[in-house]
Structure 1
Amino acid sequence: MDRAPGLSVRLKLTLSYAGFLMLAGALLLAAMGAFLLREGWLQTNEEGAWQATPGTDFVRGFAPMAVAVMVFLLVFGLLGGWILAGRMLAPLHRITHATRTVANGSLSHRIRLPGRQDEFRELADTFDTMLTRLEAHVAEQQRFAANASHELRTPLSVSKSLLEVARADPHRPTDPLIDRLHAVNTRAIDLTEALLLLSRAGRRSFTREHVDLSLTAEEATETLLPLAERHGITLETDSGIAPTIGSPALLLQLTTNLVHNAIVHNLPEHGGVWVTTAVRPRTVVLTVENTGEPLTPEVVSTLTEPFQRGTERVRTEHAGVGLGLAIARTITHAHDGTLTLTPRPAGGLRITAELPLASPPQDSDPPPRPGPAPRSERGRTPVLD
């Protein structure tokens, strides 16, 4: 919900404390002034005897002191109120920080607010309990997806082997049913692999290493260049060094999925895909932009959901399994990043993956920047669209 900017709670409490203190001081000084003015302000003369001063002398003597006291109460109230409000709201700041951390995908984070029981501690404990149940529920879903995918892999692999043997038999009669079954089986295997990858990335169970996103982008674009040429797509890259921390395999999968998505969901001919990497003050950015049919913000907002393809974007010969962008979003969140999808005014899509910037190397001279590994030395990165 968009809200108009306002004063912070700490400032409101500070002003409340200071205002209350000044009001109490003003009432006290007014009561003292009224009493002394009515009774006469007593002072001693040179002989040591007490005498009453007139009202005018009283005002000249008492009013400056009252003003000084009020100024002191104002400064003291503001300073003391600010400190007290900060101490009182410190648990709330900790709860807010934990909420933002959880909103970025870290369900394992807990507040664990120390101290005796009060309203803030009760709120923090309730929030921790909710997170524990939510994490257990999400973990159960991920285990189910992983177990189901593992169970499906074996029969699908067996079916694939049987179909390949049948297709390779030179004496078999021409039967389009076998080719159709082979295509359906291949699609089911791709879906199973996608579900496995989605589950692994969601659990964040991977080793983090230094990764240069520019090299990852170059490798992905080189791998998918033949596909772009077959579709008549111009594939351009502008790779600036973009160091981050994460899983090289998963980040390569992320880049491959985004570039593949940009190629297959493009114009029928004379389309373009632009892949760029850059460094910002605290993050690195991978941007994949492509031409295509105009998209509405409502359609774009659903594209990262599992099995949501955006029907107007899908090529009939390459529908995919509907998990490519969902996997990209999960991998980005697993690396404490954000994935942003924006429709281009001229048609097509612009996807930005923003990841944390890696710390600079300790050595005075950075190591040489190698190019992409030869194709024969790379492991297979499945394209999961």
Structure 2
Amino acid sequence: MTTVRVRLTLIYSGLFLLTGTVLVVTLNLLLTQALHARVGGRPDGPQAPPAPIPPELIAGTPVPRPRPPLPDEVQDVVGYQWAVAAVAVVILAAVSVAVGWVVAERILRPVHRITATARRLSVSNLHERIALAGPRDELKELADTFDAMLDRLERSVQGQRRFIANASHELRTPLAVQRAAIEIGLPEDAGEIRGTLLAHNRRIENLIGALLVLAQAEHGLDDSRPVALDQVVRLVVAETRAGQVAVTVRAEPLVVDGDAVLLNRLVTNLLDNAVRYNHSGGRVEVTLAAGVLTVRNTGPVVPAERLGDLFEPFRRLHTTRGQGSGLGLSIVASIARAHGAEVRARANPGGGLEITVTFTPSYASRAAGPGWFRDDMATA
């Protein structure tokens, strides 16, 4: 792929080489013509023998005289001049390429600055600006337009964060009051009404919590820190109630730059989904190796054409059972995108799913240290 810098260098050097070549050739031709006019016409110069005149041109028609040849010394000077001109053109071509390369770099420097800022920006550092200094030209106008767009984007993200925080408080507080009223106002011998109301209350709380986590993941990471993902995986497996489903784990050391709470939620949703949509005596295999988290389970057969629906909000497969919110794997996909990871699902031939989360090298490192995530988890 040819870069803009290479193309600009070729354009600069090509125009310079073309102009220099035309100038040198023109000067040499004019010099040769002047030598013919001055040296060849001198009395002591060589005289060409007169050429015979055809009979049909004798009747008053002017006949041009042939140009006399130049002396050998003058012809040597002209040949030397052409050789020097050719060498000068080659040297100028090399110089023009070097100068064009430097000039193109200086011209594209503001563009590189804009590109570096755009790559570095995330939700956690939207306050940064390009703030390009210099003359008021097209590049300065582009940088200022980009800064204005960042201002609007920062205000939008801040408004969404305030909305999520307010919605979390306004939605969870009435549910907590409702649950307390059910537990206190209805005696335990009220029958199925008390249990049904509490079950619906918990389900709504879980749904609201899932929606808030999904919104937070969709807006990116506020703060990115090294997280020992292998320790997160082992902690989640240890705290999961698998019932009659056997869970095995094999996790190699892996550090991921991201949010410890969201990564914990990613692993929890994957494991809960693998346990819930399984059968008695089934198994779940959790593997973390080479930057890839894999959760494989047994269970009902999943049609291959329905795999895309797994990561859509509120999509449930008819072959599954349970009272999930339909947001588990969509939250997994959003958290993975926020951490630069890719999620894929594959249906097992005998039933169940294999879901893989692949972390890119820019977010993951094989070297892990103990306890890197526990402080974040404790303060979340």
Give, in angstroms, the shift of residue 146 of structure 1: 2.0
Bigger mean CA deviation after superposition, 60-69 or 11-20 = 60-69
Alignment partner, residue 364 of structure 1: none
1:91 aligns with 2:97: no
Do the aligned partners of residues 122 and 273 (structure 1) sit closer, same or farther apart at CA in structure 2, a change above 3 Å counting?
Answer: farther
Match of 1:236 among 248, 251, 262: 248
Instruction: Label 1:344 to 1:105 Cα distance change in 2 as closer, same or farther (>3 A).
Output: farther
- For 1:231-380, list aligned pairs within 5 A: 232=245, 234-264=246-276, 266=277, 273-278=284-289, 285-291=291-297, 293-296=302-305, 299=308, 303=311, 308-312=313-317, 315-320=320-325, 322=327, 324-329=328-333, 331-332=335-336, 337-344=339-346, 346=348, 348-354=353-359, 356-357=363-364, 369=370
Q: 1:70 aligns with which of 85, 89, 92?
A: 89
- Following TM superposition, by how much is the alpha carbon of 1:155 offset from its aligned partner in structure 2, in angstroms? 1.2
| Equivalent residue for 2:151, pick from 126, 132, 150 | 132
In the alignment, what sits opposite 2:234?
Answer: 218
- Give yes or no for contact 2:294–2:355 (8 Å, CA) kept in 1: yes
Q: What are the ranges of 5 or more consecutive residues in structure 1 without an aligned counterpart?
A: 1-5, 45-49, 280-284, 362-366
Match of 2:200 in 1: 184
Select between 60-69 and 16-25 the one with higher mean Cα deviation: 60-69
In structure 1, the partner of 2:101 is: 82
Which of 32, 35, 39 is the aligned partner of 2:34? 39
Residue 36 of structure 1 and its aligned partner are, at CA, apart by 1.2
Deviating more after overlay: 248-257 vs 139-148: 248-257
- Residues in 1 aligned to 2:118 and 2:319: alpha-carbon distance in whole angstroms: 37
1:203: how far off? Answer: 7.2
CA pair 142-326 structure 1, distance change in 2 beyond 3 A:
farther
Instruction: State the secondary structure of the residue aligned to 2:196.
Output: helix
Q: Using the aligned pairs only, state the percent identity.
A: 29
Please report how far the alpha carbon of residue 41 of structure 1 lies from its aligned counterpart in structure 2 after TM superposition: 7.8
**2:253 aligned partner, one-letter code:** I
Matched, 1:110 2:150: no
| Counterpart mapping for 1:156-167 below 5 A | 156-165=175-184
CA, structure 1 residues 17+87, in 2 after alignment: closer, same or farther (shift >3 Å)?
Answer: same
- Asked if 2 retains the 8 angstrom alpha-carbon contact of 1:13 and 1:85, the reply is yes
* Secondary structure in 2 matching 1:36: helix
For structure 1, which segment, 147-156 or 104-113, has the greater mean C-alpha deviation from structure 2 after superposition? 104-113
Equivalent AA in structure 2 for residue 356 of structure 1 = Y
- Asked if the contact 1:107/1:135 (under 8 Å) is kept, the reply is yes
Q: Which residue of 2 aligns with 1:47?
A: none
Contact 2:302 2:319 in 1 (8 A): no
CA distance in 1, matches of 2:205, 2:135: 55
Which residue in 1 is equivalent to 2:52? Answer: none
The C-alpha deviation readout for 1:318-352, integer Å capped at 9, x for no partner, is: 32251x34544555566xx3131223264634331
How far apart, in 1, do the equivalents of 2:222 and 2:344 lie?
30
1:122-162 deviation digits (Å, cap 9, x = unpaired): 11111111121122112212211221220111210121123
Q: How far apart are residue 358 of structure 1 and its match?
A: 6.4
Report the equivalent of 2:17: 22
SS in 2 for 1:290: strand
- The yes-or-no answer on 1:9 pairing with 2:8 is no
Amino acid at match of 1:352: V
CA drift of 1:275 comes to 2.7
RMSD: 3.9
Q: What SS is found at the alignment partner of 1:116?
A: coil
TM-score by length of structure 2 reads: 0.74
Task: Return the alpha-carbon distance in structure 1 between the equivalents of residues 329 and 322 of structure 2.
Answer: 19
Partner Cα distance (2:373, 2:145) in 1: 50
Match of 1:149 in 2: 168
CA contact under 8 A between 1:213 and 1:286: conserved in structure 2? no
Distance 1:128 1:372 in 2: 35
Q: What is the alpha-carbon distance in structure 2 between the residues aligned to residue 142 and residue 184 of structure 1?
A: 28
Cα distance in 2 for residues equivalent to 1:184 and 1:194: 15
Distance in 2 (CA, whole Å) between partners of 1:71 and 1:146 is 69
Q: Which whole-Å CA distance do the structure 1 matches of 2:307 and 2:133 have between them? A: 44
Distance 1:116 1:258 in 2: 54
Q: Take 1:297 and 1:109, find their aligned partners in 2: how far apart are those partners?
A: 42
What's the CA shift string for 1:29-76, capped at 9, x where partnerless? Answer: 1101110111228999xxxxx996557525531222122111111111
Q: One-letter code of the match for 1:287?
A: L
For 1:276 and 1:117, locate their aligned partners in 2 and report how far apart those are by CA, in whole Å. Answer: 56
**Offset at 1:314?**
7.2
